[in-house]
Amino acid sequence: MVTVYSRFQLEAEKLGRHIVFQVTVYQKTTKNRSVLFAETQCSDPYQFLVQFIIRDCTDFDELLSKFLDQLDYRGYAALRYRIRGEGKWNEWIAIPPRPSARNANSHEF
pLDDT tens by residue, 28-66: 998 888 899 998 888 766 667 888 999 999 999 999 999
pLDDT band at 85 (very low <50, low <70, confident <90, very high): confident
| Mean pLDDT estimate for the chain | 85
Q: Which residues pair with 2 in a beta bridge?
A: 28
Which of 65, 64, 92 has the alpha carbon at shortest distance from 80?
A: 92
pLDDT tens by residue, 9-24: 999 998 888 889 999 9
Region of residue 46 (phi > 0: left; psi between -120 and 50: alpha; otherwise: beta) = alpha
